[in-house]
């Protein structure tokens, strides 16, 4: 990773969808409104990594943390996760939730812990990611900020 990592806001929707679909992550529910709290590295046309937040008052759903295959092992995912957590804290988020089928250990090493899906607040349960896009076998995790 270079000494100065440029993290930008609001990636273009088509670029987000292309990267998520290339890496097997859900993208069908993303709208321009979702991108208000999305961050990325790389170019507008080909982001190398991105992460998003859906903010609901004092809680948020962390979603779509992805690094392109060509950009892995450079620390981009960790840098974006930290950026999203700091952004959430500035916006008075106290609890970050996420769903994952492949990265439970990654998030566990970064302070997230698995909880039962029944503990999800109603506004998280009502998201398309929770309700239908991520399988019920996904790990549901929380981190208190």
pLDDT tens, residue by residue, 67-92: 999 999 999 999 999 999 999 999 99
Q: Say yes or no to pLDDT of 3 above 60.
A: no
Give 61's contacts (C-beta < 8 A, 6+ positions apart).
53, 54, 96, 97, 98, 124, 127, 129, 130
pLDDT band (50, 70, 90) for residue 1: very low
| pLDDT value of residue 145 | 95
Is beta strand 38-42 parallel, antiparallel or unpaired with respect to 59-67? Answer: unpaired
| pLDDT value of residue 59 | 94
| pLDDT value of residue 19 | 95
Average pLDDT over residues 109-136: 84
Q: Say yes or no to pLDDT of 133 above 70.
A: no
| pLDDT value of residue 29 | 85
| pLDDT value of residue 124 | 86
Alpha carbons 51 and 100: distance in angstroms, whole number: 13
**pTM, full prediction:** 0.90
| pLDDT value of residue 2 | 46
């Amino acid at each position: 990773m270079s000494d100065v990592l440029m993290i930008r806001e609001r990636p273009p929707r088509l670029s987000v969808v292309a990267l998520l679909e290339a890496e097997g992550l859900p993208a069908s529910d993303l709208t321009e409104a979702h991108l208000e709290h999305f961050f990325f590295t790389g170019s507008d046309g080909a982001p190398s990594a991105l992460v998003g937040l859906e903010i609901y008052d004092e809680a948020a759903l962390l979603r779509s943390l992805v690094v392109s295959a060509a950009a892995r092992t450079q620390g981009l995912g960790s840098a974006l996760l930290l950026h999203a957590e700091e952004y959430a804290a500035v916006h008075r988020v106290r609890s970050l939730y996420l769903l994952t089928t492949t990265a439970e250990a990654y998030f566990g090493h970064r302070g997230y812990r698995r909880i039962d899906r029944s503990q999800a607040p109603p506004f998280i349960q009502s998201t398309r990611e929770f309700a239908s896009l991520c399988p019920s076998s996904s790990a549901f995790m929380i981190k208190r900020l």
